[in-house]
Amino acid sequence: MEQPWRRRRLDIGIALALFIAALAVYNATLTPSLSYESPDGNELITVAYTLGLAHSTGYPLYTWLGKLFTLLPIGDVAHRVNLMSAVLGAGSVAVLYLLLRHLTRPDRPGEAWATRASLLASAFTALLFAFSRTFWSQTTIAEVYAPNALMVTLTLGLLLRWGRKLEQGGRSFLAPFCFALVFGLSLGTHMSNLGFAPAFALFVLLVGGRRLLSGRWLLGAGSGFLLGAAQFLWLPYKASTLTDRMMLRSAPNTLEGFYRYTLGAFPQFKFAFPLAAIPDRIVIYLDLLAQQYSLWGIGLGILGMWVLLFRRPRRFFLLVGMYLVHVWFFIQYRVFDLDVFFIPAHLLYALFIGVGTAWGLLRLGRWAARGGWRWASIGVLVTGMGLVVVHQVRANWAANDHSEDTAINDFYAHVWEVLPEGSVLLGRSGVFGYDMFYWRLVYNVRPDVVLPHLPTPEPRPQALAGRPIYTTMRLDMPQAGRGPWALPRDLVPPDAWHIPILVGGGGAGLRERPGQGLVLYQVSRTPPDLVVTDAEPSTRVDASLGGLTLVGYDLAESTVEPGGLLHLTLYWRVEEPGRYLIVTALGDRTLETHELGFGNLQRYVRERRPPREGVVVESYAIVIPSTLERGTVPLQVGLASPWGAVSQTGVVLEEIAVR
């Protein structure tokens, strides 16, 4: 008979191995620093360091955990908070394995093959979840979803442990206290965990019955939950630090504001679809589920539910209740990044897959034993399951590898160098402005440069008076001034020109949006010399690229360093009117994409009326990625489709030495 201490030691060893394997992959694909891959990750990083208040619902536990990770002597502050997602995400994989062992452990401990089936199924399913597309994506960036997965697994594990004690007649005060404490704390990584409460209550009632009326248990669970939820006192304490216009509308410094910042946050997203749209929303969810586990995984999950219903009905109602409530709520949630909100549902479905896999392995093993080739079947199964995991890693690696996403850091390293003394730097405000705010709040970079939209969401033109003005966003476009994170439209003169001087890539988060990279503009009342009649490029090209002709170019350097600058001037003749996106690349690495004239051409033609035979001149500095490999690579210029970043046609200018 398997000894309990040996079983626990084996499980802990396997859980630790799974943790190390997952962490190794997550770390290899980890985002080095700031990134646009997460819409609000840059804010979460900065708030963790400064111990401020994040956007709704506040995420106090995440903030405190992030602060601990910022103390690590590894990389920069942003890298450390990214690493927290990797570490806690890997931790959730280890705890998921232990949960699966609890659910698939044989009823008769002496049956060796049943134990092996449980071990194999639990480890396999934990890895399947670890390297699923959506969950993996959240372990490489600063976001709440990977830490929340750990909190969900810990909460569930402590609940099942309490349930086992109740089934054995235990009367421990500590078990309900620990479960409820972690449940209350989990709200600090995502408030939606509160939706699991009905399933938790149902499970405890099924297991404990009338015994739960004992004041001892009620006191333990109630005090634990209140202690965990007390973290939200952080919100009114830190409400004065908010500078986000949208968050200030529901600042948590009153009872009404506290509710709107937490349970009442984002009402426009909740239950946003009519009942007639629910079937379509279910199809969307099923497609997202299939992206994680494929159709065979969905089938194994259905089998696992069936097995749980008849073998462990109390746990069936717990897990299915959690799963259905979570899916039902979020299929009616209107957000652009819907997939990440289903991570707890994907985690729960992994439990069903694990149970179904263990049941299948057990039946297969018993059948193989009758033929006398059980050990051979074990070898085949281990090999096959290993190949499935390897396929999962290979299939999702490229989509989740952000190890070279240094675009923000590379860009701002030069921004702070080129800005003149006492200048003004503008950009997005609120949650989405922390690609800029991070440098001031964490490292106090260039304190002489004024960031008027950092202390207030409503900066006034007087704050800019008499100073050179630069911006990372155009303030003269029709959409300027719109939206909760926009700057006031009257902040700069309406007739000011936005002249590009520094261009960087958009990072991984913008790789599907050509023309949306990082640009530093100088705001000027004087128009640029955008169209000339006497163009004299130092190198003549005269290459036809669709409706454009590249007349020639000027290149200030033929040797660059990774993270350096390439000063380029392009001369274009427009043969056919249209919208053109220009792509610049070094080898197969796209450096930047931009609209011809950087958004100034139409206005320039309308107001300055240059001759038709004029040549469009674009002169700017391009940021070279710091992760670019050294060697000699061709500098290419071409055109891109407005709907994709793939170059349609291009021309090689000359070879560039990267040293």
Give me the phi and psi of 226, to 5 degrees please.
Answer: -65, -40
Are residues 549 and 635 located together in one domain of the fold?
A: yes
494 belongs to a structural domain: yes
How many Cα atoms within 13 Å fall on the side-chain side of residue 336? 3
Bridge partners for 133 per DSSP: none
Grouping H, G, I as helix, E, B as strand and the rest as coil, residue 522 is: strand
Give the tens place of pLDDT for each residue, 355-410.
Answer: 999 999 998 887 777 766 767 777 888 899 999 999 999 999 999 999 999 999 99
Are residues 463 and 552 located together in one domain of the fold?
A: yes
240 belongs to a structural domain: no
Are residues 283 and 432 located together in one domain of the fold?
A: no
Are residues 370 and 511 located together in one domain of the fold?
A: no
535 is written with which tokens? Answer: 């163009």
Domain encompassing residue 505: 407-658
Give CA angle at 359 (357, 364), nearest 5°.
90
Are residues 413 and 365 located together in one domain of the fold?
A: no
The three-state (H, E, C) secondary structure of 453-500, written as one string: CCCCCCCCHHHHCCCCEEECCCCCCCCCCCCCCCCCHHHCCCCCEEEE
CB 513 within 8 A of CB 593: no
Are residues 413 and 394 located together in one domain of the fold?
A: no
Are residues 510 and 379 located together in one domain of the fold?
A: no
Give CA angle at 584 (519, 495), nearest 5°.
35
The model's pTM is 0.94
Are residues 369 and 424 located together in one domain of the fold?
A: no
216 belongs to a structural domain: no
213 belongs to a structural domain: no
128 belongs to a structural domain: yes
Are residues 151 and 287 located together in one domain of the fold?
A: yes
352, 371, 400: which is the final residue of a domain? 400
Q: Average pLDDT by consecutive 10-residue portion of the chain (659 residues)?
A: 67 98 98 93 98 97 98 97 99 99 83 87 98 98 98 98 87 90 98 98 89 79 97 97 90 96 93 94 98 97 97 97 98 94 98 97 81 73 93 97 95 98 94 95 97 88 91 82 75 92 69 62 94 93 92 95 96 92 91 92 92 93 94 93 58 94
89 belongs to a structural domain: yes
Are residues 465 and 413 located together in one domain of the fold?
A: yes
357, 381, 400: which is the final residue of a domain? 400
Cis geometry, peptide bond prior to residue 57 (ω within 30 degrees of 0): yes
Is residue 375 exposed (0-12), middle (13-18) or buried (19+ Cβ within 10 Å)?
A: exposed
41 belongs to a structural domain: yes
Are residues 386 and 411 located together in one domain of the fold?
A: no
What percent of the chain clears pLDDT 90, i.e. is strictly above it?
76
462 belongs to a structural domain: yes
Are residues 331 and 383 located together in one domain of the fold?
A: yes
Domain count, the chain: 2
Give the tens place of pLDDT for each residue, 51-107.
Answer: 999 999 999 999 999 999 999 999 999 999 999 999 999 999 999 999 999 999 887
347, 382, 400: which is the final residue of a domain? 400
